[in-house]
Structure 1
């Protein structure tokens, strides 16, 4: 085999091995986002470390990362929602990754225009290291979502002292949304898609609503009403114990008083006998 043919073969093999080694992984390829919320698109990548130019192995270094919307290759003059080489980027799109392995993108204040497919592209200091994963992540934006509150049990009554967890639900997954909670119209300090009330007291009775942070969209009120449970009998038990304690104290005082009277009677009888003897 000629030297030129051997070099061509080795170059092809290195190129094939390099292409196989390059990866961009999206944990999920589709997600749902409520307009005005924040959605995070997790992403990891493995760049090509080097390539062969037919004579030697040339190391590669990632010099640029990009995220594009509705473009399969995301190259050249394609508009980017994020470009590490550009300072003119919409602040709603925040790159949470780096130039090594993490390519996570976060979209804040989701708008209807974000109803699209987002793709990540890495670019090296040589074209051999450029790569775009064409699969991407498709974001479905839901407008004016009707939110509601659910709990594991359909019973809206609870016994005092038990633990109750309320979940803010929608047609979208709320695991990464900024959710706030209100009780009887007043904001609670707790945040997140779930609200845990433990242990329950009578003060926890009321109407609960959840809302997306910095948004006016509210869920329908969810009413929780306390009913007497094991904890509800505490006042009765305390009252019974108090009555029993009073009875015991009264009995002890009665016995002591009776013994004192008996002792006084004995002393009186002894004094009268001594008086008769003296005469």
Structure 2
């Protein structure tokens, strides 16, 4: 009975502190593939001060805790991160502080992480400690085969073109992935979910696949990429340049012809006028 009374007391304190303006902002539900890394962006707003026995006490956050599947993160609740502990699981990395950032990163996701995570801040005055019970839901997908997506489904490219290959899970949207890329069975240096191939040449041709570094079962179906040897893209550019040059040359020839024709007309007009004046002068001087 005493335990339930204590829980009820804590629940009442949580409601009161929330009403006073304390906040914890969680992200939307997060989905991750087993073995991958996810980040839970989080921010919190503690109280600035409380009044104790008629005296204002400035609030300082002295401890931060992340737990899972517990509404309060207090008492004997197992935590995934505790700023006062030296035995935190290294898979859970706290990226925040004690000022307003409570971001948590979970690496090498396991089935046990399929849970509701909650954050708690504890202050120098117990009445200013707070847990937001809504939490953030993390869903873990086990053994989902990755897939490669590209803007070109046929995989046929010309020399000099570019392509971006994306390694993703069809079961949920994942923003952070540590993957291994392969071409014809040989590992590439890229480790992110995206590979950019620019100025393609024949050596880029091959079967590309990707998968999570720590989960071989996620290896994707190969994506076949073929680059034409002929360099059709360069030839097309050369043809366009030649056609453009011919058009410019034709325009210049037309302009020159027009100028010559105009000059010829002016010259003929001058000669004709000079001849007419000369003939008129001869008639006037004849007795």
TM-score interval (norm. to shorter):
0.7 to 0.9
**Cα distance, 1:18 vs structure 2:** 7.5
Give the superposition deviation at 1:215. 2.9
* 1-structure distance, mates of 2:87, 2:189: 37
Give the whole-Å Cα distance in 2 for the aligned partners of 1:55 and 1:102. 31
SS at match of 2:70: coil
Residue aligning to 1:24: 24
1:179 aligns with: 179
Q: What's 2:212 paired with?
A: 212
**How far apart, CA to CA, are the structure 2 residues paired with 1:118 and 1:86?**
18
Question: Is the Cα–Cα contact under 8 Å of residues 36 and 176 in structure 2 kept in the other structure?
Answer: no
Between stretches 172-181 and 188-197, larger displacement belongs to 172-181
Residue 160 of structure 1: aligned partner: 159
- SS of corresponding position for 2:188: strand
Quote the offset at 1:185 in angstroms. 0.8
Matched length = 221
CA distance in 1: counterparts of 2:196 and 2:233, whole angstroms: 18
Paired position in structure 2 for 1:109: 108
CA displacement at 1:214 relative to structure 2: 3.2
Query: Contact 2:17/2:128 (CA < 8 Å) preserved in 1?
Result: no
Uncovered stretches (5+) of structure 2, i.e. residues with no partner: 1-14, 240-287
SS of 1:153's equivalent in the other structure is coil
**Unpaired runs of 5+ in structure 1?**
1-14, 238-279
Partners of 1:231 and 1:153 in 2: how far apart?
16
Conserved in 2, the CA contact under 8 Å of 1:51 and 1:59? yes
Query: Where does residue 142 of structure 1 map in the other structure?
Result: 141
Match of 1:90 in 2: 89
The CA deviation at 1:69 is 0.5
Are the counterparts in 2 of residues 46 and 101 from structure 1 also a CA contact under 8 Å? yes
Indicate the residue corresponding to 2:227 in structure 1.
Answer: 226
Instruction: Tell me the TM-score normalized by structure 2.
Output: 0.72
CA contact (8 A) 2:146 2:168 kept: yes
Query: What TM-score does the superposition give when structure 1 sets the normalisation length?
Result: 0.74
RMSD: 2.2
> Is the alpha carbon distance of 1:18 and 1:225 closer, same or farther for their aligned partners in structure 2, counting shifts above 3 Å?
closer
Q: Give the 3 Å change call, closer, same or farther, for CA 104–161 of structure 1 in structure 2.
A: same
Shift of 1:20: 4.1
**Structure 2: distance between partners of 1:43 and 1:17:** 19
Q: Shift of the alpha carbon at 1:158? A: 1.1
SS in 2 for 1:110: coil
SS at 2:62's partner residue?
A: strand
- Residues 1:134 and 1:16: Cα distance change in structure 2 (over 3 Å): closer
In the alignment, what sits opposite 2:243? Answer: none
On the 8 A contact 1:29/1:135 being kept in 2, the answer is: no
2-structure distance, mates of 1:128, 1:62: 12
What is the alpha-carbon distance in structure 2 between the residues aligned to residue 233 and residue 160 of structure 1? Answer: 10
Other structure's SS at 1:191 match: coil
- Residue in 2 aligned with 1:263? none
